[in-house]
């Protein structure tokens, strides 16, 4: 079955691309173009197709800021359970801008609000935003100070190991991203969800899912002198996945952790590991290992001023040039080298317990060297 693209626009102002890297980065890139003067953008038409997954469907074009001469503009997005934020990577103080609260998130039993938390985000090449809430994905649009959740697309897979009576017998999804054109489909981007067991699933237009690999087994060490307490077990997804097009040479990353009894998350290593995804292996349906390289434990880089020795619970990640930016459940924004996993705490937002993050698939990336 041919997959159709997910296209529901979001009215968000974009920011200029750039982000100086911390330790371990290997340069920066710039994007060129004719640009233009900054304008107010324009609203789109009503759309012509009723198919939610059709590229021609939706509520019309997004509104935005227009282009600055010689620059391509993108946003980094971050999310807590209830609220969407944007981050201007060019601002040295890195303030989070609150965009709005989700209108589909609320306490259990609240009429019209089916979910208690937004667990992750995904942004396609046209900067349309989608949200994930464990068992469903939704297109998101900004309406004033509210983030409207579009039609819920229920996705699940039965979990034969689920015995907790407080949860349904389904694997819960915790991560979301788009696979760039050419990875899973030759002409459109495909939404990919990751579960806590370290498995990746392509979301089909009929809301069924197809497995496209898993993260494989934990080695004895990360190759940089850091050993793992539970080698030989399966990697668990710690937080998030992110894929980037890189001009037809796609790149992917994930934050994972080793645990004593996967997929149980009890007693896991408190320090995350950054892995690089084998995008060619990901293209095949099945249970194959899609880990291309262990980039390294997310440990403090030399010269960082904070007191941490390592960083964990990176529930949201977004890639930019040679870095992966992790948004943790404790409110930390951490800049991670995509070469060896070394990192620095950039800023602490103690009031914002992050649940996810995302960036467009066409954001700039400097792929790490081949191991």
CATH number of the domain enclosing 324:
2.120.10
Q: What is the span of the domain harbouring residue 222? A: 15-159+167-359
SS3 annotation, 252-317: EEEEEECCCCCCCCCCCCCCCEEEEECHHHHCCCEEEECEEEEEEECEECCCCCCCCCECCCCCEE
Q: Digits of tens for pLDDT over the chain (371 positions)?
A: 334 344 443 333 222 223 333 444 443 333 333 333 323 233 232 232 233 333 333 332 332 333 333 345 688 999 999 999 998 777 777 778 999 999 998 876 666 666 889 999 999 999 999 999 877 899 999 999 999 999 888 876 655 554 544 444 456 789 999 999 999 999 999 999 999 889 999 987 777 889 999 999 999 999 999 999 999 999 999 989 999 999 999 999 999 999 999 888 899 999 999 999 999 999 999 999 999 999 999 999 999 988 889 999 999 999 989 999 999 999 999 999 999 999 999 999 999 999 999 999 999 999 999 87
Domain membership of residue 367 (yes or no) is no
Amino acid 72: pLDDT: 58
Rounded CA-CA distance 248/201 in Å is 21
User: What pLDDT does 30 receive?
Assistant: 35
- Examine residue 371 and state whether it is found in any structural domain, yes or no: no
Whether 151 is covered by a domain: the verdict is yes
User: What is the model's pLDDT at position 45?
Assistant: 29
**If you write DSSP's letter for every residue of 32-49 in order, what string do you get?**
----------------SB
Measured CA distances, 44 to 48, 62, 132, 140, 329 (Å):
12, 6, 25, 16, 36
Look at the chain and report how many structural domains it folds into: 1
Strand pairing class (251-257; 236-244): antiparallel
- Encoding tokens for residue 34? 């004719």
Sign of the CA dihedral 357, 305, 225, 23?
Answer: positive
Query: Greatest CA separation found in the chain?
Result: 58
Q: What is the token pair recorded at 196? A: 């806590």
How would you classify the pairing of strands 291-297 and 136-143? unpaired
Pair 319, 253: CB distance under 8 Å: yes
Asked, for residue 3, whether it belongs to a domain, the answer is no
Q: Does residue 268 sit within a domain?
A: yes
CA distance 33 to 353: 37
């Amino acid at each position: 079955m041919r997959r159709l693209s997910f296209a529901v626009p979001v009215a968000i102002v974009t920011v200029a691309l750039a982000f100086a890297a911390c330790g371990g980065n290997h340069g920066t890139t710039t994007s060129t173009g004719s640009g233009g003067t900054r304008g107010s953008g324009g609203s789109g038409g009503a759309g012509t197709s009723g198919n939610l997954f059709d590229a021609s469907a939706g509520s019309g074009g997004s509104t935005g800021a227009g282009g600055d001469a010689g620059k391509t503009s993108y946003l980094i997005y971050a999310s807590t359970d209830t609220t969407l934020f944007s981050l201007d990577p060019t601002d040295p103080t890195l303030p989070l801008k609150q965009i709005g609260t989700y209108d589909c998130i609320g306490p259990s039993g609240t009429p019209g609000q089916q979910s208690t938390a937004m667990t992750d985000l995904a942004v396609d090449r046209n900067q349309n935003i989608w949200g994930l809430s464990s068992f469903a994905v939704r297109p998101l649009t900004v309406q004033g100070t509210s983030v409207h959740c579009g039609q819920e697309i229920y996705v699940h897979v039965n979990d034969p190991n689920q015995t907790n009576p407080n949860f349904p017998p389904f694997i819960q999804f915790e991560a979301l991203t788009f696979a760039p054109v050419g990875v899973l489909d030759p002409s459109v981007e495909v939404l990919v969800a990751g579960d806590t067991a370290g498995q990746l699933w392509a979301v089909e237009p009929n809301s069924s899912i197809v497995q496209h690999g898993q993260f494989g087994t934990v080695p004895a060490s990360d190759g940089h002198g850091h050993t793992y307490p539970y080698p030989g077990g399966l990697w668990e997804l710690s937080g998030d996945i992110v894929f980037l097009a890189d001009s037809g040479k796609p790149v992917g990353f994930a934050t994972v952790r080793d645990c004593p009894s996967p997929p149980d998350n009890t007693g896991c290593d408190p320090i995350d590991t950054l892995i690089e995804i084998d995008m060619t292996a990901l293209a095949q349906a099945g249970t194959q290992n899609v880990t291309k390289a262990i980039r390294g434990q997310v440990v403090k880089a030399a010269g960082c001023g904070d007191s941490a020795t390592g960083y964990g619970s990176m529930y949201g990640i977004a890639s930019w040039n040679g870095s992966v930016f992790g948004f943790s459940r404790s409110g930390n924004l951490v800049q991670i080298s995509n070469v060896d996993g070394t990192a620095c705490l950039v800023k602490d937002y103690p009031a914002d317990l992050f649940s996810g993050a995302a960036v467009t698939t066409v954001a700039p990336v400097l792929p790490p060297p081949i191991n």
